């Protein structure tokens, strides 16, 4: 069982409120932690789950063992951030985040579990051709908390792309619903019947007929940035699926930064990828 310490920062928070309201864990997970007597004081003393605790109370939380079913496979892995609860790693273009089938290999998660197993789970995904940062949970409680933060837009994701330019407006918001393209198995398109999708963009630099664009997402639809930029008339260079010109190699989209308040330490994290594609200035 994995052990970590947590300090109650505010007056009047109980273990029950911490797990259910602050971290918003599911009933099954909370019940399992209660039955395992998993939350205690650092000296091993018991704490009542509904007792309102004073600020500064230290808790020792022991998590049930969990195992991910990824097959370990050694390979190059750039770890940008590491702590007991999460990892942020760089994914190269051409490498899928996870296998499509049980027992599959040749992906980022195979490499991550080989180094950090037995439990690791990605919080979000990048398309195979997109390079950049991927957030990975190191225990099931962290996975549940980060999933909720992602859903509530508490994790800020910043991307960079290179497109044909120039743009008519240096910055703006693309709000256009995205749905499946019935004429193509994997392609998406802007569709009135699709799911809401919002992308904010800002042109950072422009030269030689191309623009470097910084983008942030309010939603996380499949191929969202690729679809929205193509819809705007600026398909990503190399993204032939959405009308971009070939560029020799993968298309030019990079997940450059992740920012969030760490749910277990309370500290702000602003993590920038130190492995940059050659097309970025």
**pLDDT tens, position by position, 42-97:** 999 999 999 999 999 999 999 888 999 999 999 999 999 999 999 999 999 999 99
In the chain, the number of structural domains is: 2
- Residue numbers annotated as active site: 127
How far, in Å, CA of 242 to CA of 230, rounded? 6
Phi, psi of 7 (to 5 degrees): -110, 125
Task: Give the rounded distance of the alpha carbon of 5 from its chain centre.
Answer: 24
What per-residue confidence (pLDDT) applies to 247?
74
List the one residue out of 90, 89, 220, 230 whose CA is nearest residue 161.
230
Cβ-contact 161, 215 below 8 angstroms: yes
> Does residue 239 fall inside a structural domain?
yes
Q: What is the pTM of this model?
A: 0.92
How far, in Å, CA of 34 to CA of 30, rounded? 6
Domain-ending residue, one of 42, 63, 84:
63
Q: At what angle do helices 27-35 and 140-151 cross, to 10 degrees?
A: 150
Domain-ending residue, one of 36, 63, 90:
63
> Does residue 27 fall inside a structural domain?
yes
> Does residue 191 fall inside a structural domain?
yes
Under 8 Å CB-to-CB from 246, ≥6 apart: which residues?
238, 240
270 forms bridges with which residues in the sheet?
259
Q: Which domain holds residue 196?
A: 157-255
> Does residue 215 fall inside a structural domain?
yes
Phi, psi of 267 (to 5 degrees): -90, 140
What per-residue confidence (pLDDT) applies to 110?
98
> Does residue 280 fall inside a structural domain?
no
């Amino acid at each position: 069982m994995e052990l970590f310490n947590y300090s109650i920062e505010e007056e009047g928070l109980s273990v029950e409120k911490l797990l259910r309201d602050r971290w918003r864990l599911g009933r099954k997970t909370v019940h399992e932690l209660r039955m395992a007597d998993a939350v205690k004081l650092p000296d091993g003393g018991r704490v009542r789950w509904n007792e309102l605790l004073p600020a500064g109370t230290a808790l020792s939380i022991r998590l049930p063992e969990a195992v991910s079913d990824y097959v370990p496979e050694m390979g190059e892995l750039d770890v940008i951030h590491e702590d007991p609860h999460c990892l942020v790693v760089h994914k190269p273009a051409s490498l899928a985040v996870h296998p499509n089938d049980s027992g599959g290999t040749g992906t980022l998660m195979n490499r991550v579990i080989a180094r950090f197993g037995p439990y690791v789970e990605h919080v979000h995904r990048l398309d195979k051709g997109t390079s950049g940062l991927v957030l990975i949970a190191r225990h099931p409680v962290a996975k549940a908390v980060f999933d909720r933060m992602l859903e509530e837009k508490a994790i800020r994701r910043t991307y960079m792309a290179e497109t044909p330019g120039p743009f008519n407006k240096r910055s703006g918001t693309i709000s256009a619903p995205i749905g499946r393209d019935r004429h193509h198995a994997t392609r998406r398109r802007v569709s009135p019947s699709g799911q809401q999708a919002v992308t904010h963009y800002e042109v950072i630099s422009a030269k030689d007929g191309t623009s470097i664009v910084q983008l942030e997402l309010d939603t996380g639809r499949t191929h969202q940035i690729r679809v929205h930029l193509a819809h705007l008339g600026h398909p990503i260079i190399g993204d032939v699926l959405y009308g971009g010109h070939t560029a020799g190699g993968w298309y030019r989209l990079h997940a450059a930064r992740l920012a969030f308040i760490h749910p277990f330490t309370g500290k702000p994290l602003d993590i920038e990828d130190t492995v940059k594609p050659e097309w970025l200035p």
